[in-house]
Structure 1
Amino acid sequence: MTTRERSEPAINAAERPMLEGWLDYHRDTLALKCAGLTDAHLREASVPPSELSLLGLVRHMAEVERGWFREVLAGEDVKAIYGTDEDRDGEFHLTEADTWEKDAAIWQAEIARARENTANIGLDALSVGRSRSGEQFNLRWIYTHMIEEYARHNGHADLVREKIDGSTGD
């Protein structure tokens, strides 16, 4: 795995570039937390009985990207990548067959699709999908939620990475 670069978000950008900058920053942060590790390390669980691992987090974020930007925002009829009716948290249940190469490619494909689905709409554009109470989400809300989702899970990734090899940092 190669080391990735991460750009700091602009401190004086307009709203949309600011939101997209922070989202990309957090996407890159998760990739950096995984950089330089073997597949075995990436599958390593944090603290038993938890199954939380860096690869599981990447797979989870692929599901989250798909859910918000394809299913909710665009109304695409997509199925879960890893989860099933019997195993709703399938992204966290790893086997020896699960690899960084395969799962990182899926994650990056979902990010690319998210960018395609947002490229030509404004922040006030409403989602096709609705909340449990029947309300539509605007793109601004989805971006903000995704930044929060990545930030929370990047905190988990910090702890998992430190357990694996002692690496710390933002």
Structure 2
Amino acid sequence: MSENTETVLWEPPVAGDEADTLVGSLERLRRTLAWKCGDLDAAGLNTRLAPSTVTLGGLLKHLALVEDEYPTRRLLGRELGPPWDTVDWDAEPDWEWTSAASDTPEELYALWEGAVARSRTHGRVRKVPPGSRRLARPLAALSGSPAYAQYAGDPPPCEVPHQTPRALPCGQTALLCGHGHVRQALAEGGPGRLAAYTDSRGEHPSLRGLLVDLIEEYARHVGHADMVRESVDGRVGEDPPR
């Protein structure tokens, strides 16, 4: 195991490359959501602003699904694991939203944190130059989870069996094995690397497109979390304290 200074980006770099700008933007939104949803009991996580049925608990569970959906199914072409694989989505298309009310805060935090940790391990972890703004305090301080501690040494080992890559148009391949292959896709094909997923038009989205979709999902829902959290205990602000 090699020692390094790799860490989670605090925000997009001022003049970084495309990959770090996309990943840094996503990390800032994840960090903000953790702050808006953190430190609450069941009543706080189930608070809603009528007539909307959106709750902070529902947001956590929905975004846990999104974090698993994009790297796992769309990029890698793999089926989702638990709890998503046992849901009848045709019968309950909003299951993650409606079922969140029955989950404990510990279960909701762990579900979202685990999904982010998997997605982040799939994603690109970069070496931060001296003087860069980095995650000054781990998100563990906000959520009570070790999932956001700065990496020391290599990322967690891959526990997913490797599979044969699937051929794609233009001679590209989608990497269908587990952890670390968004990072590999960025290294080998850049943000233009095509995903395994095929949309309704028969087209394969790029890794760039998948990351933009993730950013858009978080941007919408962090705005929802802003309003709901203020109604719970008055917590407001653009960024968590450092």
TM-score by length of 2: 0.62
| Gaps in structure 2 of 5+ consecutive residues | 1-8, 123-180
Letter in 1 for 2:107: K
CA RMSD in angstroms comes to: 2.0
Alignment of 1:115-130 (within 5 A): 115=120, 116=122, 117-122=181-186, 123-130=191-198
Report the Cα offset of residue 103 of structure 1: 2.0
More helix by share: 1
CA contact (8 A) 1:23 1:146 kept: yes
Partner Cα distance (1:126, 1:8) in 2: 25
Per-residue deviation, residues 81-138 of structure 1 (Å, max 9, x unmatched): 2853321111111466412221222222222222324121121211111111111011
Q: Secondary structure in 1 aligned to 2:192?
A: coil
Distance 1:9 1:100, change over 3 A: farther
Matched positions, count: 164
Partner Cα distance (2:31, 2:216) in 1: 14
Match of 2:91 in 1: 86
Letter in 2 for 1:102: E
1:107 to 106, 112, 115: 112
| Gaps in structure 1 of 5+ consecutive residues | 1-5
Match of 2:172 in 1: none
1:63 to 59, 65, 71: 65
CA contact (8 A) 1:43 1:94 kept: no
Q: Secondary structure in 1 aligned to 2:184?
A: coil
Are residues 1:148 and 2:216 paired? yes
Q: Secondary structure in 2 aligned to 1:64?
A: helix
Deviates more, 1:119-128 or 1:92-101: 92-101
CA contact (8 A) 1:58 1:103 kept: yes
Distance 1:154 1:136, change over 3 A: same
CA contact (8 A) 1:51 1:93 kept: no
Report the Cα offset of residue 46 of structure 1: 2.4
Per-residue deviation, residues 23-70 of structure 1 (Å, max 9, x unmatched): 01111111100122212201222223x321001001000111111111
1:35 to 33, 38, 43: 38
Letter in 1 for 2:211: Y
Match of 1:132 in 2: 200
Distance 1:166 1:83, change over 3 A: farther
| Identity within the alignment, % | 36
